[in-house]
Structure formats: structure tokens, C-alpha cells
Chains A and B, each alone.
Chain A
């Protein structure tokens, strides 16, 4: 199942289920079933928590920054369990795109009040009574927070992509070269043996 050299030890019965969405190619060492299952169970909960932090951040601890960090931890966990392919499969767009979109959203909501003669970052408020939630207060600052959230996720994932994933890709490349070298040496040895016999 895994890439050669990173699979489970001989004689160990490899799990057949795919717990993560892509073919499993763990970033670090052999595949860990425990980590895969844990990641699969935890990621939705972590993402829910990050949304909770995002929404509750207006007047309680939390906000876009904290929420974004928590959400990016979910993706980092996914990366550790499944490697860079898994990370890429789990993202709606490239980290740079997230970063740009978040920045755009944040700047637009920060600058919009200026058009109405209000100071920068001014907020508008909308109070609603919804059937299930009861009284809900919606602030335009929430859109700004969503922007911050996306910026943080984009930035953390860019860092992961630049440091972890690229290193991993280079390592895979180096390993491949090593294998080719080994094969070449083997062939040379065989040829030498053959010539020796003749």
C-alpha cells in the first residue's frame, strides 16, 4: 500500500481500510494506523471548534486569529498522518490563494466604512431572531474576522508547504536517485562477475 521503504514491517498485517482520502503516503516514517484513525476522528471536531472560536470571538476569547490557528492545526495533523498529497487533497485551493482571499476580504471590510465617511474598521450591526438560535447578533466585523481566519490558515499552510512538504518531496527524490544508483551498481557488479567468469 505505502511507498516502498515506508510501509509496515514484514509480517505485520497492514490495515486494508483507507482512513484518509488519498493513497496513504505518510510524511514521517512508516504508516501509523492509530494516527490515521485519530486524525480522521478529530479533524471535524477541530474544524468545528475553530468555527466556534471564530464566531464567539467578538466579545469572548477567540476570534479569527485563534480560530485560524486551530483550523490550520487540523490540516497540520492531516499532513503528519498522510503526507503532502493528503494535505493538498484536503484543501479547497492553494495556500497562497487562501492567503490572498483572506487579505482581500479583510481589507475590503476594513476599508468599506471609509466610503460612508466612517472611520476604518467601523462595524455595522444586524440583530435577528432566528427560530432555533433565538436572538442572533451579526456584526460586519465577523467578515473581517473570516478574512483574518483565512489569512492565518493560508500562512500556516504556506509555511508547511514550503518547509515540510518541499523537504519531503526532495527527500523522496533523493531516495529515488539512491535506488537508481544502487541498481546501477548492482548491474555493474553482475556484469563484472559475468566478465570474470568468461
Chain B
């Protein structure tokens, strides 16, 4: 148990140290980074296996018992998210390695590998942290690494984007720390299981202020409307490997934190209607933004904002079915979002840019690319039989059965509308970039790329994008077990008893 929970932190950091020492030998850096992430994937799979039936795995670092020491906790939701995240991190790493082997990127691999591994450790710590302060530490590790990553291969646009990104993230971090201080002042503890028991005695108004404060903190990071403005301005300009990971994971970590804090710490009924309103606004504003963009990456960034709304909507339903839907949605969305950004990266490789104005006939240029785009894009819009369909069905079903009055009905209607608008946004990309006869310079660029001195890099990149697409399909195929574990996790979340007992009760794990 102890080792299972420590590996996702210790191994990537160890890998970061080793890759930092081996900066002169790129090949050994690549091997070390791959082995570290593969170890995390295996570990996460074991963790999920242990928590499959709803068990909560706990490790008290240094043997210091719960409310005082550092507690690492994995419930089914955390284990599932660590697994999906590490798989995506591994595939994107291999994609990046392929790009470096082919000499197709201007990133500095000797800097990229250590920071990427540090980011992995931060993401994993955020998922398994048992107290608010370590959640903060996990966020900070992740964010500090992301500040460095977003300016890789700096251009004017990237430096500008990183300024916005850093300032917004720091603002949310300051609010986060303030919130933790307030919670500590109120309850005398930062351990989440402990807080859950002690917040009940606090005045309800105060509790609500704290709940909203944490919602704003994580809402900024999750890019929910009206705190979404920074995301479409910063993610799309980063390198492909980096925007893929940011879009897939960073916002989802924040959504995870919202779910954890709103279900475990705060009385949910207070903020339910706020959650629903915010969810509705996020869905519609995001997708309307996506419809008017001319850059493929920016379309995807706005679609990302819009689909965060679905997750908040599920949380706002405040039922087991709703939460289970959110967890399925998280898994689906992490995979699909990473895939689409990787596809856009391949497109940039072929065409040299991602603007819809000067791309035509990609289907002829690279049929594989067209397939790789089409499948996850349909999944994003929620067409059967893709994973997006399963996730949306789970959410809509939960909404139909929930008792929430007209607001839930409105949310449901907006959700369906958003799915349709997503489809339109996707067909806009499809008709403009993929159909038609290719521009002459695109064919030339393809020939140049394919007859280049080193095509193995391009082959690895294409293969890894294919692996991501296959993972998305696998999520749909494994919908049965996924739904099962999501329901177990949702029951655990809404009940909270097992979590609290596991952390505080049979202490030293």
C-alpha cells in the first residue's frame, strides 16, 4: 500500500533528477523518462485494482498519523484519474520523443524531460493528496513546471501567452493559500477527512463563503465561465506536446479538486444552483467561442472550456448518477482532448501552421490524419458509438432522473444544444481543412517531409497519435467496467464515510 501511493511521486521526481544529470545524452534521457512514466502507469493500474470495489488506500508519510502528518489517499476516483493521466502522459512523451528523433521540433529536449517529469509528479500528488496543503503543493509543483513548459521554444506569442497564464495562475494560487489559512483558522486542521468532520460545527454562512472561495480558486484553473478568458489565449500557442498535456490534464486536475472539495468538505446544497448556472454559462459561452475561431487549436481550446461545463453540470446535480457521469466524462475528455491536440500537432507538421484559412484537402494529403481527427472529433461531439456518447448519455440520464426543477431542465437543454454546436464546430474544421483539393504547397510540404533524412520520427508521432485514438476507442469499449467503477467512486464521494474512516481510523496503513 505504502509503495503504491508513493511511486507516482517519487519515481517521476527521481527520473527528473536523473534526466537533469544526463543532459548531454538525449537517448538515455528519453529512456529514463519513458521508464519512469511506464512505472507510474503500472503502479496506477495496481492502485485501481486495489480500490476497484470502493476500498480507500491510505499511506501516512513518515509514519506520522493522520490529522498531523502528510496523508496520501487513493479512492476509486483518484486511482482511475492517476491511471488515465499517466497513460496520456506516457503516450504524449513518446510522441515528443518521436518529434525530437525526427528533428521536427524546436523544443530543448534536455530541459523538456526533467520538467515534464516534475509536472507528472505534481499531477499525481494533486490526485492523491489527503490534505488541503498538499493539494496546494501538488498544484504548485504542476503549475511551476507548466510555467517553464509553456515558454519552451520561446516566440513573441509564447512569451505573451505565458505572461497571461502565469499571472492568472498565481492569482488563483494566492486565493488558494488564503482559503487554506481560513479553513485552518476555522477548524485547526488541513487534513481533508478531519475538516469534513469539523466544518459541520462552523456557521453555515462562513462555510458557504469558503465553499465559494474554493470554487473560484479551482474554477480559475478549470477555466469555467466567467474565469475562462486566459485559456484560449495561452494553451493553443504552446508546443503541441505541451498544449496537449495542458488541455488534457491541468483543467481536469482542477475539476477533480472542485469535486473533492465540494463533496467532502462543504455542504453541497448551498451551492448547487450556483454550480448549475455556472455550468450552463460555461457550456454555451465556450462553444459559441469555438464556432467563430479560425485556428484549429483555438477551436479546440474553446471547445475545452465548453465541455468543462458538462462536468460542473454533473456535479451540480448532486446525485450519485450525476457524479458517476462526471467521472466517466473526465476519463473520456482527458483522452479525447489529448488526441485532438496531437492530431493538430501532426497537422502543423504537414502544413506548417494550424490556421483554417490556408488549409484544404488534408484527407488527400494524409488519409491517416483524417481518420485520426474524425474519430475523436465525433467522440467530442458525443455521437455513438464513441466514448463521448457514453459520457453524455450518463450525464443526461442523471439529469432526467434528478430532482432539480426547471434549472436542471434548462441545463439539460443547453447540454444538448452544446453537443449539436460542437458537431457544427467540428464539421466546420472538417469541411474547411480536410475536404477539397489540397493546396499545391501542402503536397510539396508532404513530399519534403516524407523524403526527409529521418522519417522514423514522423512515423513514431503518427503511431502515438494512433495509440491515443485507440485509447479513446478502448474507453468506449470498456464502458461497462468504467461505469461500474465510476458508480462505486460516486457512492464513496457522496457518502464520504469510507474516505474519512480510512484516513482517520485505521491509521498507519
Contact = CB atoms under 8 A, between A and B. Distances in A.
Given A120-B9, A120-B10, A121-B62, A114 B17 contact: no
A103 B11 CA distance: 11
B13 interface: yes
A104 B16 CA distance: 8
A28 B421 CA distance: 59
Residue of B16, B20, B72 with highest tally of chain A CB at under 10 A? B20
Nearest to A105: B17
Given A107-B13, A107-B14, A108-B14, A119 B61 contact: yes
Interface stretch (A6-14, A33-41, A93-101, A182-190): A93-101
A196 interface: no
B62 A96 contact: no
A174 B70 CA distance: 51
A122 interface: yes
Chain B contact surface mostly: helix
B10 A104 contact: no
A83 B61 CA distance: 43
A178 to B, nearest CB: 25
Contacts of A47: none
Given A100-B20, A100-B21, A123-B62, A118 B14 contact: no
B63 A118 contact: yes
- Chain B, interface residues (CB within 8 Å), range: 20 to 34
Given A97-B21, A118-B63, A119-B63, A107 B10 contact: yes
Contacts of B509: 119
A117 interface: yes
Nearest to B5: A120
A117 B20 contact: no
B59 interface: yes
Contacts of A110: 6, 10
Contact of B17 (A100, A118, A120): A100
A119 B13 contact: no
Contacts of B18: 100, 104
A111 interface: yes
A122 B6 CA distance: 12
A119 B10 contact: no
A122 B10 contact: no
Contacts of A106: 13
A119 B62 contact: yes
Given A111-B14, A119-B62, A96 B2 contact: no
B32 to A, nearest CB: 12
Contact of B20 (A103, A114, A119): A103
B23 interface: yes
B22 to A, nearest CB: 9
Contacts of A117: 2-3
B344 interface: no
B61 A120 contact: yes
Contact of B61 (A96, A103, A121): A121
Interface residues of A, number: 20
B349 interface: no
B17 A119 contact: no
Given A104-B18, A119-B62, A120-B59, A96 B23 contact: yes
A103 B2 contact: no
B508 interface: yes
B330 to A, nearest CB: 27
B339 interface: no
A104 B14 contact: yes
Given A103-B17, A103-B20, A119 B9 contact: no
A119 B1 CA distance: 9
Residue of A100, A119, A121 with highest tally of chain B CB at under 10 A? A119
A148 to B, nearest CB: 12
Given A100-B17, A104-B21, A121 B2 contact: no
B318 interface: no
B169 to A, nearest CB: 18
A111 B3 CA distance: 8
B2 A118 contact: yes
B461 to A, nearest CB: 29
B116 to A, nearest CB: 14
Given A96-B23, A100-B20, A103-B20, A120 B14 contact: no
B234 interface: no
Given A96-B23, A118-B63, A119-B59, A107 B3 contact: no
B60 interface: yes
B508 A96 contact: no
A63 to B, nearest CB: 14
Contacts of A100: 17-18, 20-21, 114
B84 to A, nearest CB: 23
A102 to B, nearest CB: 8
A117 B72 CA distance: 16
A123 B62 CA distance: 7
B62 A122 contact: yes
Contacts of A108: 14
Given A111-B6, A114-B6, A121 B17 contact: no
Contact of B2 (A104, A107, A120): A120
29 contacts: A96-B20, A96-B23, A100-B20, A100-B114, A103-B14, A103-B20, A104-B21, A106-B13, A107-B14, A107-B17, A111-B6, A111-B14, A114-B6, A114-B10, A117-B3, A118-B2, A119-B2, A119-B60, A119-B508, A120-B5, A120-B6, A120-B9, A120-B10, A120-B59, A120-B61, A120-B72, A121-B70, A122-B61, A123-B62
Given A100-B20, A108-B14, 16 more contacts: A100-B17, A103-B16, A103-B17, A104-B14, A104-B18, A107-B14, A110-B10, A111-B11, A111-B14, A114-B3, A119-B60, A119-B62, A119-B508, A120-B9, A120-B62, A121-B61
Interface of B: 2-3, 5-7, 9-11, 13-14, 16-18, 20-21, 23, 59-63, 70, 72, 114, 508-509
**The 10 nearest A-B residue pairs measured at CB:** A100-B20, A103-B17, A120-B6, A104-B17, A111-B10, A121-B62, A107-B14, A119-B2, A121-B61, A114-B3
